[in-house]
Amino acid sequence: TETQFFAGIPKIPYVLDAEGGDVLCFKHYNAEEVLMGRRMEDWLRFSVCYWHTFCGTGADPFGLQTQRRPWNEGTTPMECAKKRLHAAFEFFNKLGVKYYTLHDRDLSPEGMTLDETNRNLDEMTDLALELQNKTGVKVLWVTCNLFAHSRYMNGAATNPDSHVFAYAGAQLKKGLDVAKKLGAENFVFWGGREGYNSILNTNVAAELKHMANFFKMAIKYKEKIGLQCQFLIEPKPKEPCKHQYDYDAMSVIGFLKHFGLEGDFKLNIEPNHTTLAGHSYEHDVVMASVFGMLGSVDSNTGSPDLGWDTDQFPMDIRNTTMVMKTVVEQGGLQPGGLNFDAKVRRESTDLEDLFIAHIGAMDAFARGLRNAVSIIEEGVIASMVKERYMSFSRGIGQKVEDGTASLEELEDYVIQNGEAKVTSGKQEKYETVFNHYM
Amino acid sequence: TETQFFAGIPKIPYVLDAEGGDVLCFKHYNAEEVLMGRRMEDWLRFSVCYWHTFCGTGADPFGLQTQRRPWNEGTTPMECAKKRLHAAFEFFNKLGVKYYTLHDRDLSPEGMTLDETNRNLDEMTDLALELQNKTGVKVLWVTCNLFAHSRYMNGAATNPDSHVFAYAGAQLKKGLDVAKKLGAENFVFWGGREGYNSILNTNVAAELKHMANFFKMAIKYKEKIGLQCQFLIEPKPKEPCKHQYDYDAMSVIGFLKHFGLEGDFKLNIEPNHTTLAGHSYEHDVVMASVFGMLGSVDSNTGSPDLGWDTDQFPMDIRNTTMVMKTVVEQGGLQPGGLNFDAKVRRESTDLEDLFIAHIGAMDAFARGLRNAVSIIEEGVIASMVKERYMSFSRGIGQKVEDGTASLEELEDYVIQNGEAKVTSGKQEKYETVFNHYM
Amino acid sequence: TETQFFAGIPKIPYVLDAEGGDVLCFKHYNAEEVLMGRRMEDWLRFSVCYWHTFCGTGADPFGLQTQRRPWNEGTTPMECAKKRLHAAFEFFNKLGVKYYTLHDRDLSPEGMTLDETNRNLDEMTDLALELQNKTGVKVLWVTCNLFAHSRYMNGAATNPDSHVFAYAGAQLKKGLDVAKKLGAENFVFWGGREGYNSILNTNVAAELKHMANFFKMAIKYKEKIGLQCQFLIEPKPKEPCKHQYDYDAMSVIGFLKHFGLEGDFKLNIEPNHTTLAGHSYEHDVVMASVFGMLGSVDSNTGSPDLGWDTDQFPMDIRNTTMVMKTVVEQGGLQPGGLNFDAKVRRESTDLEDLFIAHIGAMDAFARGLRNAVSIIEEGVIASMVKERYMSFSRGIGQKVEDGTASLEELEDYVIQNGEAKVTSGKQEKYETVFNHYM
Amino acid sequence: TETQFFAGIPKIPYVLDAEGGDVLCFKHYNAEEVLMGRRMEDWLRFSVCYWHTFCGTGADPFGLQTQRRPWNEGTTPMECAKKRLHAAFEFFNKLGVKYYTLHDRDLSPEGMTLDETNRNLDEMTDLALELQNKTGVKVLWVTCNLFAHSRYMNGAATNPDSHVFAYAGAQLKKGLDVAKKLGAENFVFWGGREGYNSILNTNVAAELKHMANFFKMAIKYKEKIGLQCQFLIEPKPKEPCKHQYDYDAMSVIGFLKHFGLEGDFKLNIEPNHTTLAGHSYEHDVVMASVFGMLGSVDSNTGSPDLGWDTDQFPMDIRNTTMVMKTVVEQGGLQPGGLNFDAKVRRESTDLEDLFIAHIGAMDAFARGLRNAVSIIEEGVIASMVKERYMSFSRGIGQKVEDGTASLEELEDYVIQNGEAKVTSGKQEKYETVFNHYM
């Protein structure tokens, strides 16, 4: 019989009339409920991340481990790895989440050689596949950890040493194999060490070209092995590097277009990264969507008064509403989803805190979805916006829209029509209407 | 008969079942409704600010006036000043707000000499008093504008030139007289130019001493004329200066204590200033309250992704709940209040936008109040906190609390009791419970 | 005879052994001196901006005018405009700067109609041309002010009203005519109102497309009139808008490539905008250069502790060295230059402060140039960097460089060569060597 | 015979005419050279920190150890601790630095019990004392690590559990004993976990009182054991906590004054903390000095574009000049000093990088000292400042200075003297003069 790691915690139910102190039930997330023709779980496509939730220890730059997990107690790394995987699937099932995400190195320990590392990974992915099949839980995305090992300290695909580049390539090859084996619906690239710490020692042009070539090799190998998943790049402006090349959505889009890679990638947007880049919470979700590049969302949050990635569970209903409004407007995120790249605070040392945090965040997104659906179905905001841009569907506006107007024609229009009206932007009205649905 | 400036806008009603697009009614603010033994209007003590709402033009550092108000059209500055005051009282009445706040220079134009300026002010305050008496609207606070005129560019009370210091003192004297005449319940000092732009040309020690002496003269004159109001200092970290001495709540408290002024002042906290100082929205409200120094609140907001004071209308329910929780816990703000030091966006050029913005913000604070009352009345969070600190009400904890323990006793305690337990801080649980009341 | 506006200030000389208190001479900038085969003035291509230096008043969001300039005293706007232009050329000559930059609306006042406005501009550009010919001073770039007038409050090329778009187009047409007439070497687009203040009322996709179409019309008209200058886009992340589409260098590059405009534009980088976007001072200068897109530099600075555009004169030698290192490495900025988009502080009210500020900044850049030349000529840093990337010029590294390697080959390489070395990045060594040249 | 950990690295010499690539010699720091009557080493009082330089591993939140130090290879923690101490003293001697700083837990490993921990510490401090006596190297300050162990995750002196508070007290008692034993000239308190992560679960008033009581016990015990050193509090705004009570200099001063502790403490200012609090680099050094509270400086730097404590070696000459100007003006830092609370970058993995980094920073401060001395000796800036405030030494200004003026007198003065002059602040002149000395 299997060990239970979360004894005493039942399958989390949806309880409509729960009270303030009830925190081990959903008050808003009702997986099967249908909104705008789709079940909540299909709009939200929640995913639990493996690294924070099962590998995290609570250590931070100023302190040691605080969280001691039963699945990390064992005599060998591989024994722990297996217990950890069992714990994870127990967690997924009790929480009622259908997806998880992982780095290659979350699942199994690095060995002394690449070969040993890969054998560890084979053994662990066999077990993962077995548990996936047994439970129906699937992989939202796989990614390679190309930033934690000391060999990557100066970058992986942008390392000044081609030997390290080669190591990253070898690891990526195996990562793509793992994605195929586990049926991952997406594959993410996060370039935590792809950037610079000092511009003085860095050849930016060379590094960007190497990174592009790395991606091209990935595309070729993906095609070769018939891997069907969506490739995603995850922007982050800084931390650990002083500057990371994938600064924000537009930086990545610029990079992809420069190197002709835009057809093969979408973006995985993490709002905590967006705010670190100086944007508002929802900005990169919106911008990526506008460019047809929004593939998936790492649903977490930071504190706007802190300058690093706190990876907190998203609890702000305004934020979740803004994200879900964009997601519903673009018709959903599939094959992407909402991945909780979030960790319980270092001080949240109880096992139940892992549940409370996910439940709270899932409810926050469920409320966001409900709000967004109301906003969209009632259409008050949409019709205000439509009216605002109406002049571009006729006359000179239509010609601008079509790209057929010239500066001379615009001048003629002004000569004939004189000064333009000053029209209120009515921001406070929009905010007030928005608040109505919160 | 009087001109109506806001024709077509009725007295704003409370409408329980208003729809999404209805923005000229209160959906949550019901002035007479009693919560925890006090009417909503007495908890909230809303105030309209004179400067943004009646003097603002929409000009910004990159653009000219956008907002053309009928009350600013006239042949002389004094004629405009009077129309503006009539417009203001029409606005207060239609909005149903009982307080307003003003700078001396908002009310009446500066003349060629101090004497002319003061005569203008006398004439305008006569009219203000008449309108106050007629309507029952009162002054929450008066403040002197010691930052806009070119003479104050290097500071008022901290100016390197004692002639300017004297001018500021003369203006302050009149400002205190005005406060008495209009029955202001508070008097605010905001030191926008009291700080430095370059540390190289600044004698900080001298300037701080001069500022303290300025405050001491104000206290003496206040006593002399029998002015009963509460003195308030409003912290702001920067803008217009690179560094302002009244950086945040703790900086002001330190300054006051250093110069022995803490008994004569409380703080007027503006959350948009708090966030510019690198704190969370509610931080200075909480800190000032903890030190018994929270006197009033300038209820506005900024955008956390912007680095200047945007003075937006507060629309975020989480924020208003946090502020009202503190306010209710300390038993209210009286004689202070919630002053809307907020301006409609430069692009919000319709007259109705002034109403929509205030209504939206008043509703946001009404929801905050309702949420805070539920949180406090149900007591779930309070009892969690109480339990958390329980150990300080017994044994060694009690001795620490009382200040009677010594390091030697603490060491003895550890020798006898060994290692301490690691106890979860349960932040996500608190956040989830908090969200229940949102 | 002409009025002298800067009586008592001579042509600024270069004085090798000037003392600490001497501020009306160059201590480092020696225009004719040759470094690396080019005169200092040709490396630096300094330009004075018209708006801050001749139109600025010292007003800020919290205060009125402080700077009263003799050239702004006159009975009509056009009279002032002409005096201002004469003052400007006296300033250029005494300072010894060969270029100036201007907005259309700096030069001449806006009239009641487009036609009147354009006639004003014709009259003023006639005079400007005359003074240019007389003095040899040239126009580095012209730009259209599409942000200050109330009609542009919701954007110019991104305005929701096509009438405003048309007005912007008409203004741009004239602006391009002016550029041709004055022989401008570049034409700049700064989209201060091209962005959003509230994502709720904004159709981002429509606005970006309109902006791209606006640029396409500009290209066509430029070709039609045979205007030879370089088009430049100036990124800025925010202010006045909450978010501006031209956020930073990479955002603009991404936009240009998305709409197929990259061949017709380069970037005008302003470091104070770069730091507001969360980058280090030199970042966008470097990135634009790496992408072959660095066209010109608005040489100013901000305070890293302030969150808005302070447009200070650049005085930090480290910063000027970093910029000049990049400029020299790419072979210079021509036809661009170093434009002082900088204003004396609001409190710097003396006329001589305009000279002192420019002299201080020119000396700071002259020192930066001298340092950069030493760094490049001695080659210590360059050879350290070259050595660092050496592995990409042989074996597997060469194949990565060429884009001919595959993941399979990289894996083979690792199987044969094992683990990579951990090689020190030696940041502190680079910093120490860099300091040697400061 | 002793192992040499830094074989091949000689005692670092001062070499007047060293070249760009020479990084293992001082180019500016000449310990014995006398400036303004004091030797450079006595002005600068450099100190090496034990934690970063000997305990650091290069691990960061996204990556594992990169720096493998020979002194950390051993079979037991105590064996490593001893090797580490020998390595440290070899380093101090070769670098020519006379002071070091340490946390209790840097020196010796924590045991299973307090008793075992303290015995480890006794053994290690015996050895430290022996090495101190042998070499003449002294302890600038000792501090207790009350933040790394999991027991302190919710605070030490502000922990909600009095058991943890007791543990902190027991540890502090021993720490003070160690300070006495080692002859530490100062004792530092850094409250990394004294603050809140969530205001919802925190009783701020209780926590502040407990912290004050903790300090009072420290004062009593210090007196009891006859410990002569200066107590210092080190402000930091955030990280690890979301908010730390010792936010900045003024926050700490306010706290100390509120609880009557200001006579027993001075401040240890770390500029990287100052910039994280939103101030300019030198701000807290200046403010602490103005209040007579500047005790010591943790001489490091951050990157203004990063929002966390990077603890970089200070290399910016402008910054070091500003700090040394304040230090010289207040007559030096003794018994405090300049402690290098700085770590080589994670990627700087060579042993020599430890030397290069310290040498570069010491030279940066030596240049700062030389510049500051020139500025002060030539007196150009000082006389400009003196002139600027001259009006406060006569007439009405003198009365303001003395605190004998009243608002009525100020009004009289204005009535008689009319409007004040607008006097240029001349910031650019100050900056230009300052640059002359750089």
Which of these, C157, C158, C155, C256, lies nearest to C204 by C-alpha position? C158
Instruction: Give partners of A (≥3 CB pairs < 8 A).
Output: B, C, D
Token look-up 């030199």 returns C282
Which of these, A255, A231, A72, lies nearest to A144 by C-alpha position? A231
Listed in sequence order, the DSSP H helices in A244-316 are 249-258, 271-276, 283-290
What b-and-e string marks burial along D268-287, b requiring 16 or more CB atoms within 10 Å of the CB?
bbbbbbbbbbbbbbbbbbbb
Token look-up 């040309």 returns B201
Upper half-sphere CA count for residue C399 (Cβ side, 13 Å): 15
Chain D residues with CB-CB distance to C316 below 8 A: 318
Q: For residue C394, what is the DSSP state?
A: S
Identify any residues that bridge with A339 across adjacent strands, giving them in sequence order: A47, A298
In chain C, the N- to C-terminal Cα span, in Å, equals: 46
Q: Which domains does chain A have, with CATH numbers?
A: 34-378 (3.20.20.150), 395-436 (no CATH)
pLDDT at D2: 61
Residue B310: closest CA among chain C residues belongs to which residue? C242
Residue C183 neighbours by CB under 8 Å, 6+ apart: C132, C138, C139
Longest dimension (CA), chain C: 85
Cβ distance C347 to B153 less than 8 Å, yes or no, reads yes
Which residue numbers of A have CB closer than 8 Å to D's CBs? 58, 60-66, 147-150, 152-154, 192-193, 197-198, 238-240, 242-243, 276, 303, 305-308, 345-347, 349
- The backbone torsions φ and ψ at residue A103, rounded to the nearest 5 degrees and listed phi first, read -85, 150
Q: Of the residues A52, A103, A279, A283, which is catalytic?
A: A103
Measured between CB atoms, which of D163, D400, D421 is closest to B417?
D163
Cα–Cα dist D272/D278, whole Å? 10
Q: Does residue B129 contact residue B182 with C-beta atoms inside 8 Å?
A: yes
Listed in sequence order, the DSSP H helices in D330-406 are 351-378, 380-388, 395-402
Q: For residue B318, what is the DSSP state?
A: H
Q: Does residue A207 contact residue A241 with C-beta atoms inside 8 Å?
A: no
Q: Does residue A58 contact residue A341 with C-beta atoms inside 8 Å?
A: no
Q: Is the dihedral of CA D148, D151, D156, D160 positive or negative?
A: positive
Cβ distance D150 to A276 less than 8 Å, yes or no, reads no
Residue A152: closest CA among chain D residues belongs to which residue? D63
Residue B398 neighbours by CB under 8 Å, 6+ apart: B392
Upper half-sphere CA count for residue D359 (Cβ side, 13 Å): 28
Measured between CB atoms, which of B199, B217, B423 is closest to D406?
B217
Q: Is D339 exposed, middle or buried (0-12, 13-18, 19+ CB in 10 A)?
A: buried
* Cβ neighbours around A207 below 10 Å, total: 22
* Cβ neighbours around B94 below 10 Å, total: 17
* Cβ neighbours around B24 below 10 Å, total: 18
Distance of residue B209 Cα from the nearest chain A Cα, in angstroms: 32
Residue C196: closest CA among chain B residues belongs to which residue? B347
Q: What is the pLDDT of residues C183-215, one digit of tens each?
A: 999 999 999 999 999 999 999 999 999 999 999
Token look-up 């007591």 returns B379
Q: For residue B148, what is the DSSP state?
A: S
Measured between CB atoms, which of B23, B344, B428 is closest to A360?
B428
Interface test with A, best of C119, C149, C162 (most A CBs within 10 A): C162
Interface test with C, best of A201, A209, A236, A438 (most C CBs within 10 A): A201
Q: Stretch B113-132: mean pLDDT, rounded?
A: 98
Q: Stretch B12-33: mean pLDDT, rounded?
A: 97
CA distances from C342 to A32, C53, C196, C283, C348 (A): 60, 8, 26, 19, 13
pLDDT at D1: 45
Looking at the predicted structure, is the pLDDT value of residue C407 above 50? yes
Average pLDDT, chain C: 97
Cβ distance B198 to D282 less than 8 Å, yes or no, reads no
Identify any residues that bridge with D63 across adjacent strands, giving them in sequence order: D60
Identify any residues that bridge with B49 across adjacent strands, giving them in sequence order: B101
Q: What is the pLDDT of residues D413-434, one digit of tens each?
A: 999 999 999 999 999 999 999 9
Amino acid identity of residue B297, one-letter, is V
Interface test with D, best of C27, C281, C377, C431 (most D CBs within 10 A): C431
Residue A360: closest CA among chain B residues belongs to which residue? B432
Number of Cβ pairs < 8 A linking chain C and chain D: 141
Q: What angle do CA A71, A73, A74 make, to 5 degrees?
A: 110
Q: What is the pLDDT of residues D356-397, one digit of tens each?
A: 999 999 999 999 999 999 999 999 999 999 999 999 999 999
Cα–Cα dist B176/B196, whole Å? 26
> At B337, which helix (H) or strand (E)?
none
Amino acid identity of residue B247, one-letter, is Y
Which residue numbers of D have CB closer than 8 Å to A's CBs? 58, 60-66, 147-150, 152-154, 192-193, 197-198, 238-240, 242-243, 276, 303, 305-308, 345-347, 349
DSSP character string of B167-217: HHHHHHHHHHHHHHHHT-SEEEEE-TTSEES-GGG--HHHHHHHHHHHHHH
Q: Does residue D362 contact residue D321 with C-beta atoms inside 8 Å?
A: no
Q: Is B112 exposed, middle or buried (0-12, 13-18, 19+ CB in 10 A)?
A: exposed
Interface test with C, best of B62, B64, B349 (most C CBs within 10 A): B62
Distance of residue D237 Cα from the nearest chain A Cα, in angstroms: 10
pLDDT at B2: 60
* Cβ neighbours around C290 below 10 Å, total: 18
Cα–Cα dist D42/D39, whole Å? 5
Distance of residue B135 Cα from the nearest chain A Cα, in angstroms: 28
Cβ distance C308 to B308 less than 8 Å, yes or no, reads yes
Number of Cβ pairs < 8 A linking chain A and chain C: 296
Cα–Cα dist C73/C80, whole Å? 6
Q: Stretch C164-181: mean pLDDT, rounded?
A: 98
Q: What is the pLDDT of residues A317-368, one digit of tens each?
A: 999 999 999 999 999 999 999 999 999 999 999 999 999 999 999 999 999 9
Q: What is the pLDDT of residues D128-178, one digit of tens each?
A: 999 999 999 999 999 999 999 999 999 999 999 999 999 999 999 999 999
Q: What angle do CA C136, C138, C142 make, to 5 degrees?
A: 160
Q: What is the pLDDT of residues C40-71, one digit of tens each?
A: 999 999 999 999 999 999 999 999 999 999 99
Cβ distance D414 to B114 less than 8 Å, yes or no, reads yes
Percent of chain B with pLDDT over 90: 99
Cα–Cα dist B214/B167, whole Å? 12
Q: For residue A14, what is the DSSP state?
A: B
Measured between CB atoms, which of C350, C363, C424 is closest to D424?
C350
Residue B283 neighbours by CB under 8 Å, 6+ apart: A305, B249, B274, D199, D243
Residue positions counted in chain B: 438
Looking at the predicted structure, is the pLDDT value of residue B3 above 90? no
Chain D residues with CB-CB distance to C303 below 8 A: 280
pLDDT band at C2 (very low <50, low <70, confident <90, very high): low
Coil, helix or strand for B358? helix
Low-confidence ranges of chain D (pLDDT < 50): 1
Tokens, residue C34: 């040759």
Distance of residue D309 Cα from the nearest chain A Cα, in angstroms: 10
Instruction: Give partners of C (≥3 CB pairs < 8 A).
Output: A, B, D
Distance of residue C174 Cα from the nearest chain B Cα, in angstroms: 21
Interface test with B, best of A428, A433, A435 (most B CBs within 10 A): A428
Distance of residue A194 Cα from the nearest chain D Cα, in angstroms: 13
Amino acid identity of residue D342, one-letter, is A
Cα–Cα dist B242/C347, whole Å? 13
Cα–Cα dist C57/A119, whole Å? 72
Residue A344 neighbours by CB under 8 Å, 6+ apart: A52, A56, A67, A313, A353, A354, A357, B427, B428
Q: Of the residues C28, C103, C273, C358, which is catalytic?
A: C103
Strand A265-269 to strand A243-244: parallel, antiparallel, or no bridges (unpaired)? unpaired
Cβ distance C150 to B64 less than 8 Å, yes or no, reads yes
Which of these, C362, C379, C281, C393, lies nearest to C328 by C-alpha position? C379
Q: Of the residues B28, B52, B103, B210, which is catalytic?
A: B103
Cβ distance A344 to B315 less than 8 Å, yes or no, reads no
Instruction: Give partners of D (≥3 CB pairs < 8 A).
Output: A, B, C
CA distances from C12 to B323, C4, C114, C343, C360 (A): 58, 16, 41, 19, 12
Token look-up 């539920």 returns B374
Cα–Cα dist A233/A227, whole Å? 17
Looking at the predicted structure, is the pLDDT value of residue C381 above 60? yes
Tokens, residue B168: 């500021």
Measured between CB atoms, which of A64, A240, A276 is closest to D149?
A64
* Cβ neighbours around B220 below 10 Å, total: 13
Looking at the predicted structure, is the pLDDT value of residue B316 above 70? yes
pLDDT at D427: 98
Which residue numbers of B have CB closer than 8 Å to C's CBs? 58, 60-66, 147-150, 152-154, 192-193, 197-198, 238-240, 242-243, 276, 303, 305-308, 345-347, 349
Measured between CB atoms, which of D64, D197, D307 is closest to A149?
D64
Looking at the predicted structure, is the pLDDT value of residue C3 above 80? no
Cα–Cα dist C82/A393, whole Å? 43
pLDDT at C1: 45
Chain D residues with CB-CB distance to C321 below 8 A: none
Cβ distance D278 to B278 less than 8 Å, yes or no, reads yes
Residue B281: closest CA among chain A residues belongs to which residue? A305
Looking at the predicted structure, is the pLDDT value of residue B55 above 90? yes
Cα–Cα dist D423/C364, whole Å? 26
Measured between CB atoms, which of D161, D280, D287 is closest to B391?
D161
Rg of chain B over CA atoms, in angstroms? 24
Listed in sequence order, the DSSP H helices in D196-311 are 204-225, 249-258, 271-276, 283-290
Average pLDDT, chain A: 97
Active site residue D358: no
Q: Does residue B64 contact residue C193 with C-beta atoms inside 8 Å?
A: no
Cα–Cα dist A429/B347, whole Å? 12
